[in-house]
Amino acid sequence: MSNVTSPPAAASETAVAHFAAKLTFEADCWDVHDAMSRGDQDFVLLDVRAPDTYAAGHVPGAINLPHGKIIESRMAAWPADTTFVVYCAGPHCNGADRAASRLARLGRPVKLMIGGAVGWLDEGFQHVFGAEPGSLSEREAA
């Protein structure tokens, strides 16, 4: 028995529950891009990295709100049922987890965009630069 199959894979019922639950916590870069490019964006995309890192390249349409600045008074700008999708640099960064935790403690619906800024580029999508969110349509027209 290899290290892959020991311990054995979970029972199908357990696997279904696990993976279904996981999808309630995560969105991938492709699905975020698809929703935004079709004008079907029913979420607010937050880049939770530092402002200088955001300015150096971010997902078009993302609002910069560093995870440490996610507080109730700032979130009051959005209706209570707004879904937030958060991302940071990528799998090597836990800023998005910190942001998601803060939002959840504030009672806000939240998902993490797996892969982050690096995953976005890995999918072949482009970043925009500067302190403003920019837009996906502007970036794709360039």
Taking Cα atoms as reference points, which of 56, 43, 48, 40 lies closest to residue 74? 48
Instruction: Order the strands of the 84-87 sheet from edge to edge.
Output: 26-28, 110-114, 84-87, 44-47, 63-64
The sign one gets for the Cα dihedral 126, 62, 31, 106 is positive
At 103, list the tokens.
Answer: 């939002």
Taking Cα atoms as reference points, which of 64, 50, 57 lies closest to residue 117? 57
Q: Which residues are CB-neighbours of 78 under 8 A, at least 6 positions away?
A: 44, 84
Residues written for the chain: 142
Residue 29 falls in the annotated catalytic set: no
Which of 44, 48, 88, 113 is labelled catalytic?
A: 88
Active site residues: 88
